[in-house]
Chains A and B, each alone.
Chain A
Amino acid sequence: MSSAATSMPRRSANTLGHKLRVAGGVAISLVFLFPIYWMILTSFKDQVDIFTTPPKFFFTPTLAAYVEYMQRADIVNRLINTIIVATGAGLLSIVVGTMAGYALARIRLRGAATFGLLILLSRGVPPIALAVPMFLVARKFGLIDKHITLILAYSTFLIPYVMWLMRSFFMGLPRELEESAMIDGCSRYGAFFKIILPISLPGVLSTLIFSMILAWEELLFALVLTNRHASTIPVAIAGIAGDTVNGANWAALTAVGTITVIPVVIFALMVQKWLIKGLAEGATKG
Chain B
Amino acid sequence: MSNDTGKSVRQRPALHPGRSSDLLVRWSFMFPAILLLVTMLAYPIFYTIDISFSRFDIASFGAGEWVGWENYIEVIDDYRFWESLKVTMIYLVIALPLQVVLGFGIAYLINAEWSGRGVIRALFIIPMVVAPVVAGGMWRMILDPLWGIMNYWLGFLGIGPLDWFGDPNLAMAAIIIIDTWRWTPFIVLIATAALLALPKDVFEAAKIDGANWWSTLWSVAVPLLVPVIAATFVIRWLGAVKMFDIVLAATYGGPGKATNVINLFIYEEAFRSLRFAESAAMAVIVLVLTMVLTGIFLRASRKLEELF
- B20 on the interface (CB 8 Å rule)? no
Interface membership of A174, Cβ < 8 A = no
B126 x A126 contact (CB < 8 A): no
Q: CA–CA, A122 to B38, complex, Å?
A: 11
**Which residue of B202, B248, B283 is within 8 Å of A126 (Cβ)?**
B283
Most buried by B among A36, A95, A139, A152: A36
Cα A151 to Cα B293 with chains together (Å): 30
**Stretch binding the partner chain, chosen from A72-80, A96-104, A197-205:** A96-104
Report yes or no: A137 in contact with B40, Cβ–Cβ below 8 A: no
User: Does A64 make an interface contact (CB < 8 A)?
Assistant: no
Task: State the Cβ distance, A119 to closest chain B Cβ, in Å.
Answer: 7
Nearest opposing residue in chain A for B8, CB measure: A108
Is B162 an interface residue, CB under 8 A from the partner? no
A265 at the interface (CB under 8 A from B): yes
A129 near B131: Cβ-Cβ < 8 Å = no
Does B90 lie at the interface of the complex (its beta carbon under 8 Å from any beta carbon of A)?
no
In the assembled complex, B223 has its CB within 8 A of some CB on chain A: no
Contact with A along B123-165 (1 / 0, CB 8 A): 1111111111111111111101001010010000000000000
Residues of B within 8 A of A24 (CB): 109
Q: Please tell me if the beta carbons of B137 and A257 are within 8 angstroms of each other in the complex.
A: yes
A254 part of interface (Cβ distance < 8 Å): yes
- Interface of A, secondary structure class, is helix
Whether A133 sits at the interface, judged by CB under 8 Å, is yes
Known: A121-B291, A224-B271. A29 touches B124 (CB 8 A): yes
Do the beta carbons of B201 and A122 come within 8 Å of each other?
Answer: no
Contact (Cβ within 8 A) A96 B32: yes
Seen from chain A, the residues whose Cβ lies within 8 Å of a Cβ on chain B are: 1-3, 5-6, 8, 12-13, 18, 21-22, 24-26, 28-29, 32-33, 35-36, 38-39, 42, 50-55, 92, 95-97, 99-100, 102-104, 106-110, 112, 115, 119, 121-137, 139-140, 152-153, 155-156, 159-160, 163, 178-179, 182-183, 187-189, 192, 213, 216-217, 219-220, 223-224, 234, 237-238, 240-242, 248, 250, 253-254, 257, 260-261, 264-265, 268-269, 272, 275-277, 279-280, 282-284, 286
Further pairs besides A2-B202, A25-B120, A234-B133: 19, Cβ < 8 Å: A5-B201, A5-B205, A36-B138, A38-B142, A110-B4, A122-B37, A123-B238, A124-B294, A129-B287, A130-B45, A134-B44, A137-B47, A152-B36, A189-B25, A237-B249, A248-B140, A248-B144, A265-B130, A275-B125
Q: List 8 A-B contacts (CB under 8 A).
A: A6-B201, A13-B113, A22-B114, A39-B138, A108-B26, A217-B132, A248-B144, A253-B137
